[in-house]
Structure 1
């Protein structure tokens, strides 16, 4: 370390400033801050979650508090207002923090309180993306992609790859509350290295769809049951160049969408059964992680999770411990789903393709299908009945 240019001490040129406290700028600072904060939380009865190390849980008798940490931003909730206020006072005495009251904005996510839950959206963030792309006055599109859209690596190169990467990267963050664009963003994200003009036109199509649904978000309401339900699907050999499949899942807890994903499988599957089986294995791993998290939150449902798939052959493969020639080449780690089914830690059931909600993550759909599945995800405009005065929020 050296004294910065322009601020060197002529009398003590070899001396440097002693750093007492820093949160940004040094690689060690975030780790030191987290150690300091976690030590304080543990000393006050919190337990660090093993499923998510940024989550701390406090439970004493019937009192429960959850505290989520993101660098120096904290979210605190619980079931006893007095206990929460007492702990906030302890936080004030230990750290220089500011209590912002009920959450309404966090890391670009806008939180609106409804009569029986929350509504999450990224309205301002979506507006900023449209402004950057110059599409605030563009004509809205009914779906993120046309139903006959195909992607190839060949074509006329786009003149500004940096602009393409910037827009796609911004759209990736928008998928936090907009799972309806997950498939489209996943597809255009595969050509960041050398985008073509056709790829850029697809990005503009996604942005035009966002323009027409800029206020859309996810609705979370008080669940009527604590069931954990997962949907798994794969579109066999979707990529026409690599012949790899696109797989996806969506997981609902009490009817609320809590986790989803749309990715391209790393290997080529020999059949639709194999691609579906691999997708089910990945979904099962996510379901098990969520069960671990719910157990630490003291909210684990009594019944084991259920995994729905629209491929009967893949479901049969999860229940059949005998390996035959059609499945012996599948890696052993994918067969974990068999162990979960045999140990009655997971149920697998068939679901009709008409109700396979994760089809929205595997392919470009027609407008009626797209809007139907979007509704099943509980994704739409803000609820008409909100709690409190929105203008004040």
Structure 2
């Protein structure tokens, strides 16, 4: 029987059988139990019974479980206990490097410990903070190849995961992700600026407040040919459900608007 660590209304799991086996076994058991897998996220399972709703997030051998009815949630946990050996770890405070703080208004998600580890890996624990993550118009002054490509990719990958609770980093992190194949000294300078900005904004994170509103609205923007090399645009958006930001992204245009010369006039134009 797989071994699960149960966390109050939330559940954290560890298996002695290996992550692959527990993941497959748990998914199958949840579906047999009556959960259905979300179309948008294969790691999320939802169970509905009358007016009660349970939402379960499964990541390899870790689980987070929540619902809108405490009594029904407890009975569900008891039923799941017939399939898994579970241990109560209390209220959720830490999950996949994300710290969960409970406030009077709801939850506050942050990654303070994770940031400290990233700064230590970059040998930048004592750096001077910056007020912005990047300059308005960046120029590649030093095209000398960066000597440690593995370090560059490691730090940028770590910053990508940091955007899980820091939407304000999405655009800047997207910019440095574009040079993973062959970073230069200037590109690493952009990464260090982001880290200096993170150092000065350690208290920031993502809040989830109690809100009865189910109004869905979004904001988007683009830098319109912001890349001076390819003339591609980077588009960003964030989506809100009520007062809570639930999704966000920054993505560069996948194609380049290459100028085409008109033989008859000699003028160039850009396709959009």
TM-score (normalizing by structure 1):
0.59
Give the drift of 1:270.
Answer: 8.3
Higher helix content, 1 or 2: 1
Give structure 1 stretches of 5+ with no counterpart.
Answer: 1-20, 25-29, 272-328, 331-393
Q: State the partner residue of 2:193.
A: 205
Q: What are the superposed Cα offsets for residues 332-389 of structure 1, whole Å, 9 maximum, x if unpaired?
A: xxxxxxxxxxxxxxxxxxxxxxxxxxxxxxxxxxxxxxxxxxxxxxxxxxxxxxxxxx
Q: State the partner residue of 1:249.
A: 237
The reply on whether 1:260 has 2:244 as its aligned counterpart is: no
Q: Could you tell me which of 178, 183, 186 is aligned with 2:174?
A: 186
Q: Distance in 2 between matches of 1:193 and 1:44?
A: 46
- Find the residue that maps to 2:221 and give its secondary structure: strand
- Find the residue that maps to 1:53 and give its secondary structure: coil
Q: Distance in 2 between matches of 1:108 and 1:90?
A: 29
Q: 1:174 to 1:166 in 2, by over 3 A?
A: same
Residue pairs, 1:33-48, within 5 angstroms: 33-48=22-37
The reply on whether 1:119 has 2:108 as its aligned counterpart is: yes
TM-score (normalizing by structure 2):
0.84
Q: State the partner residue of 2:18.
A: 23
- Find the residue that maps to 1:94 and give its secondary structure: coil
Bigger RCO (CA 8 Å, 6+ sep): 1
Q: CA RMSD in A?
A: 2.2
Q: Distance in 2 between matches of 1:104 and 1:228?
A: 28
Give the drift of 1:151.
Answer: 4.6
Q: State the partner residue of 1:217.
A: 205
Q: Distance in 2 between matches of 1:47 and 1:192?
A: 38
Are the aligned partners of 1:68 and 1:76 in contact in 2 as well (CA < 8 Å)? Answer: yes
> Where does structure 1 differ by over 6 angstroms across 4 or more consecutive aligned residues?
none
Q: Distance in 1 between matches of 2:152 and 2:124?
A: 14
Q: Distance in 2 between matches of 1:49 and 1:189?
A: 29
Q: How many aligned positions are there?
A: 247
Larger Rg: 1
Give structure 2 stretches of 5+ with no counterpart.
Answer: 1-15, 260-270
Q: Distance in 2 between matches of 1:242 and 1:181?
A: 22
Q: Could you tell me which of 228, 236, 253 is aligned with 1:240?
A: 228
Q: Distance in 2 between matches of 1:71 and 1:113?
A: 25
Higher strand content, 1 or 2: 2
